[in-house]
Amino acid sequence: MKKVITYGTFDLFHEGHYRLLQRAKALGDYLIVGVTTEAYDKTRGKLNVVDPLMTRIENVRKTGFADEVIIEESRGQKFSDVKKYGIDIFTVGSDWTGEFDYLKDYCEVVYLERTKNISSTMLREKNSRIQRIGIIGTGRIAERFVPEVKLVSGVSTQGVYNPHRQSAKKFAEKWKIDAYEDLEDFYAAVDIVYIASPHETHYAYIKSALQHNKHVLCEKPMVLVRAQAEEVFREAKKRGLILFEGIKTAYCPGFNKLIGIACSGIIGSIRNVEACFTKIEDPERRELTDTVYGGSFTEMGSYIMLPILKLFGENFKDVRFDAIRAENGIDLFTRISLNYPNGISTGTCGLGVKSEGRLLIAGTKGYIIAEAPWWKTTYFEVHYENPLEVEKYTERFLGDGLRYEISDFLSMINGNSSSEFKLTRSESVVMAQLMEQFLEMENRNV
Note the residues at the interface with ligand C2G (CB under 6 A): 7-11, 16-17, 20, 36, 46, 72, 92-93, 95-96, 114-115, 118
Give me the least distance between CB of 36 and ligand C2G, in Å please.
5
Which of residues 36 and 411 has its CB atom nearest to ligand C2G in the complex? 36
Minimum distance from residue 15 beta carbon to ligand C2G (Å): 7
Residue pair 389/403 in contact (Cβ under 8 Å)? The answer is no
CB-wise, 118 or 236, nearer to ligand C2G?
Answer: 118
Question: Please, what is the minimum distance in Å from the beta carbon of residue 56 to ligand C2G?
Answer: 8
Of 334, 307, 293, 335, the closest CA to residue 436 belongs to 293
Nearest residue to ligand C2G by CB is: 93
In sequence order, the 6+-apart residues with CB closer than 8 A to the CB of 84 are none
- Examine residue 387 and say whether the peptide bond preceding it is cis (omega within 30 degrees of 0): no
Minimum CB distance to ligand C2G, residue 402 (Å): 16
Q: Enumerate residues 6+ apart whose C-beta is below 8 A from 167.
A: 138
DSSP at 244: E
Cβ closest to ligand C2G, residue 120 vs residue 437: 120
| Residues near 308 by beta carbon (within 8 Å), at least 6 away in sequence | 273, 275, 338, 345, 347
CB of 287 to ligand C2G, least distance (A): 34
CA distance 160 to 155: 15
Cβ neighbors of 102 (< 8 A, separation 6 or more) are 79
Taking the complex as a whole, how short is the minimal distance between the CB of residue 12 and ligand C2G, in angstroms? Answer: 9
Q: Which is nearer to ligand C2G, 132 or 214 (CB)?
A: 132
In the complex with ligand C2G, the residue whose CB is nearer, 11 or 287, is: 11
Q: What is the DSSP letter of 115?
A: P
Q: Residue 135 or 435: which CB sits closer to ligand C2G?
A: 135
To ligand C2G, the closest distance from the beta carbon of 71 in angstroms equals: 11
Kindly compute the dihedral angle of the four CA atoms of residues 349, 355, 361, 362, in this order, to the nearest 10 degrees: -120
Rounded Cα gap, residues 300 and 431, in angstroms:
12
Q: Which is nearer to ligand C2G, 156 or 346 (CB)?
A: 156
Q: What is the separation, in whole angstroms, between the first and last Cα of the chain?
A: 68
For the chain, give me the number of helices (H) and strands (E)?
Answer: 15, 19
Contact 195, 209 (CB under 8 A): yes
Nearer to ligand C2G, 7 or 333 (CB): 7
- At closest approach, how far in Å is the CB of 302 from ligand C2G? 31
CB nearer to ligand C2G: give 37 or 424.
Answer: 37
Least distance (Å) between residue 16 CB and ligand C2G: 2
φ/ψ of residue 116, rounded to 5: -75, -60
In the complex, minimum distance from the CB of residue 134 to ligand C2G, in angstroms, rounded to a whole number: 15
Contacts of 104 (CB under 8 A, 6+ apart): none
CB atoms within 10 A of CB 65: 19
Q: Which is nearer to ligand C2G, 117 or 208 (CB)?
A: 117
Q: How far apart (Å, rounded) are the C-alpha atoms in residues 236 and 310? A: 23
